[in-house]
Chain A
Amino acid sequence: MFPLNDGGMVSGLVCGFLFGYVLENAGFGSPCKLTAQFKLTDWSVLKVMFTAIVVAAAGLFALKQIGWINPDNVFVPTALLMAAAVGGILVGSGFAVGGYCPGTSVVGLFSGRLDALVFLIGLLLGTFAFAGLYGPALEALMALGEVETGDTFSDAWNIPEWLMVALLMAALAGVFVAGSWFERRSRGPVSAREAVDGAQASTGPSPASSSITAH
C-alpha cells in the first residue's frame, strides 16, 4: 500500500535531483525564458506545468481507483483561499520582476546565473519580513475564505475526481492550442542558445542565434 511516506535523505536527494534535472532541460533555469511566458511569446511554463499536473493527477486518481494509494496519507494543501490568492499575486509579481520563482531560482543558480543567487537572498529577506510582520492581523487575513467542507473539489463540492481530471486534460489541450497560436504569431520560444547567451537589450532574437535557425 502506498504512499510509503518516506521522509528520509535518499528520497529527498533522488526526487530533488530528478526535479532539477528535468527543470533545467525544460529551460527553466533561464529568467529570459521563464518571463517570456508572461509576454505570451513562449508558453513552455504553462505547457510543462499543465502536462505534469495532468500526468500526476491522473496517476494518483488511477492508483486510488485500484486501491494502491491510501488518499488519507497524501498531503493536500488546506483550502485557505485568501492566503492562496494574495500569495499567488505576490509570487507572480516577484516572478515577473525577479525572473524566477523560488524553485527555478535554484536551477538558475546552478546553471551559473548569479542573479538567481541575488533572487535567493531576496527570498530570505522576504521570509524575514513575513516573520517580522507575523501576528494576529496577518493570521486573520490568512484565515479568510477557508472552504470549510473540504480541501479538494471532490470533498468540498462533490465534483467527481474523474471529471476534474477530464477538465484538466481539456485545459491542457487548450494551453497547447492557444500557446502554439501565440508562439507562431510572435518571436516564439526562447532557444537554449538564446537562454545561455542571456537576456538581450532588444526583445527580438539575438543576431547570433537568428543566423543558425536554418540548420
Chain B
Amino acid sequence: MNPLTPSTSSIKPFWSPFLAGLALGAVLLLTFIWTGHGLGATGATTRLSAWLGLEVAPAATQANAYLGPMVKSGNPLPSWISWQVLGVALGALVAAFMAGRFRVQLDGARSIGTFKRLLTALFGGALAGFGARLAAGCTSGLGLSGAATLGIAAFVFLGTFFVAGLVVSRLVRGV
C-alpha cells in the first residue's frame, strides 16, 4: 500500500490520551449532572437479550429468575440505557467518518486468521457478557462511572479486570 495515496493520508490521528480523557471526563460529569448516574453499555445488551428471549421463548423467559422480572411489564427495550447505546453507535459512526477511519473489515482476520478471530470474538464476548451480569456492570457502567463516584466495587472491578487482562493476553492471542 502506498501511504501517500489520498485515501490513506486522509486518516486523521487519534486525540492525545490526555485530551481524550479530559473530554471523556467532561461527558461523564455532564451525564451525572443530567441523569444522576454515569455511562454504560451492558444494561442495553441485557435488555436486548431479555427482548430476544421474549420473542423466541416467551414462557421460558418469563419463568427465568433473572430475565423474568425484566419482562414483567412487556418490552424491556425502551429505557434510558438503550437510547444511550444508540447514541454511542451514532457518535462513533460520525467520528469515524469525519476522521477517515471508517473501514469495513474483520479486524484480526489478517493477524490470526478469519476462523480463529470469529472464535475469539465470540468467546471473548460471552466471557464479558457473563462477567458483566455477575458484577452488575461493565468497564463503562461499573469501572468508569462507579470510580467517578468513588465506589469501592468499581476499584475492585478495575483491579481484577486489569490483572486478568494482563495474564490472559499472555496466554491467548485474541486479535
Contact = CB atoms under 8 A, between A and B. Distances in A.
Interface of A: 2-9, 11-27, 29-33, 35, 37-40, 43-44, 46-57, 59-60, 63, 69, 73-81, 83-116, 118-132, 134-135, 138, 142, 147, 151-154, 156, 161, 164-165, 168, 176, 191-193, 195-201, 208-209, 211-212
A130 B129 contact: yes
A12 B82 CA distance: 8
B150 to A, nearest CB: 5
Given A29-B96, A35-B169, A192-B12, A130 B21 contact: no
B116 to A, nearest CB: 11
Overall SS of chain B's interface: helix
A206 to B, nearest CB: 9
A96 B138 contact: no
A214 to B, nearest CB: 11
Contacts of B104: 112-114
B18 A47 contact: yes
Contacts of A130: 66, 129-130, 133-134
Q: Which residue, of B13, B26, B95, has the highest number of chain A Cβ atoms within 10 A?
A: B95
Nearest to A39: B169
Contacts of A114: 104-106
A57 B147 contact: yes
Interface residues of B, number: 128
B144 A53 contact: yes
Q: Which residue, of B29, B150, B168, has the highest number of chain A Cβ atoms within 10 A?
A: B150
7 contacts: A7-B80, A19-B140, A24-B99, A51-B25, A95-B165, A112-B96, A131-B67
A142 B111 CA distance: 38
Nearest to A134: B66
Interface in B125-175: 125-140, 142-144, 146-154, 156-166, 168-169, 172, 174-175
A108 B101 CA distance: 11
A170 B41 CA distance: 29
A60 B157 contact: no
Given A25-B99, A54-B25, A84-B157, A123 B128 contact: yes
Nearest to B105: A198
A197 B135 CA distance: 34
Contact of B21 (A31, A47, A152): A47
B153 A91 contact: no
Contact of B127 (A30, A47, A57, A94): A94
B129 A21 contact: no
Interface string B86-97: 111111111110
Nearest to B168: A96
Given A39-B169, A107-B88, A126 B27 contact: no
B55 interface: no
A70 to B, nearest CB: 9
B17 interface: yes
B40 interface: yes
Q: Which residue, of A101, A114, A176, has the highest number of chain B Cβ atoms within 10 A?
A: A101
B30 A15 contact: yes
A203 to B, nearest CB: 9
B64 to A, nearest CB: 5
